[in-house]
Amino acid sequence: MNLPALPAAASLSSEDFAFFREALEANSGISLSQTKQGLLISRLRSTLEDLGLGSFAEYRKFLETRPEADSAWTNFVEMMTTNKTDFFREEKHFDYLVNHVLPTWSPDKPLNAWSAACSTGEEPYTLAMVLDRHLPPASNFRILASDIDSNVLQVAAEGVYPSSRIREQVPVAYREGAIDFGSGQIENWARVKPRLKKTVTVKVHNLVEESYPGEEIFDLIFLRNVLIYFAPETIRFVVEKLSRSAKPGALLFISHSESLNNIPTSWKSVAPSIYRK
């Protein structure tokens, strides 16, 4: 049965909007401004329809009856999370690795990297391609790929993408050693080669929680296009948490649209949007 269309913005009261804003920040660290009411409505509309609810007030009451660990809260956060990503996005970061870090890396020293908001996996697999191609021979590396959204992590774990996206975004020089293109009935799909896929471990992790995704200590951490959604106090908490997971001299990469200016932190700028512990 098709539910009637939900009312527009009028169905979301200021009290309900405040509840959703506070719940989102508490559960994910994302700070939603007052101007994002339309975004919240568009993101949550399908959830209300799936649950058979007729208003945002009913959805609020539904969430209020659920315990912290209930999947309803996970779904709420996942619906509000932005997961836009590409292969070789902000390529200057990878150029920095190729030109300033990897040529002098000791093959006897395993390299551990963390893609801390990996979405559907394009970032960690890009990093895997770069490390595989440019680290000295016989070097070993491991990449942890984490995200708060379990749905996008399923895509990352599979490592399968439309072949058109691979051809548009992955330079030709990287494709042969990293990508298998489908043929016949699956000619529109491509996958990350198994030997490269094995270097990436996928795990659900919430950056604003006190816990850590594991006991690894990292040489490289990528956290791009995430801090822009956080309030300053949350940014400070997260980057210091990353610092405690990083080796001395480790590098942190954030988006070119982000900055740690005016944030008290142990990370020091070494290049645009690149910091060293």
Tens of pLDDT along 173-201?
999 899 999 999 999 999 999 999 999 99
Region 210-224: mean pLDDT is 92
Percent pLDDT > 90 in the chain is 57
Q: Say yes or no: domain 92-159+192-276 is CATH 3.40.50.300.
A: no
- In this predicted structure, what is the pLDDT of residue 1? 35
| pLDDT over threshold 70, residue 6 | no
Question: Whole-angstrom Cα distance, residue 112 to residue 11?
Answer: 48
**Sequence-separated (6 or more) residues with CB below 8 Å from residue 144:** 112, 113, 114, 115, 200, 201, 203, 213, 214, 216, 218
Please state at what angle helix 71-80 crosses helix 56-64, rounded to 10 degrees.
140
- In this predicted structure, what is the pLDDT of residue 265? 92
Question: Whole-angstrom Cα distance, residue 191 to residue 159?
Answer: 6
- Over the chain, what is the mean pLDDT? 89
- Could you tell me the fold of the domain covering 9-80? Chemotaxis Receptor Methyltransferase Cher; domain 1 (1.10.155)
| pLDDT over threshold 50, residue 10 | no
pLDDT in tens, 151-172: 899 999 999 999 999 999 999 9
Q: Is-contact 198 92, C-beta < 8 A?
A: no
| Pairs from 37-44 (Cβ < 8 Å, separation ≥ 24) | 37/9, 37/12, 38/9, 40/12, 40/80, 41/8, 41/9, 41/11, 41/12, 43/79, 43/80, 44/20, 44/76, 44/79, 44/80
| pLDDT over threshold 60, residue 7 | no
Query: What are the structural domain ranges in the chain?
Result: 9-80, 92-159+192-276
Amino acid at 54: G
Q: Among 40-54, 197-211, 227-241, 245-259, which is the least confidently predicted range?
A: 40-54
Does this chain's domain 9-80 share its CATH topology with 92-159+192-276?
no
Whole-prediction pTM: 0.79
Alpha helices in the chain (DSSP H): 14-28, 37-51, 56-64, 71-80, 92-96, 122-134, 150-158, 163-169, 172-178, 194-197, 232-244
Region 222-233: mean pLDDT is 89
Rg of the chain, C-alpha, whole Å: 20
Phi and psi of 63, rounded to 5°?
Answer: -65, -40
pLDDT in tens, 17-47: 888 888 888 877 777 777 778 878 877 888 8
In the chain, what is the straight-line distance between the N-terminal and C-terminal CA atoms, in Å?
56
Q: Among 58-67, 73-82, 203-212, 238-247, which is the least confidently predicted range?
A: 73-82
Alpha helices in 52-107 (DSSP H): 56-64, 71-80, 92-96
- In this predicted structure, what is the pLDDT of residue 164? 94
| pLDDT over threshold 60, residue 67 | yes
Confidence of residue 83 (pLDDT cuts 50, 70, 90): low
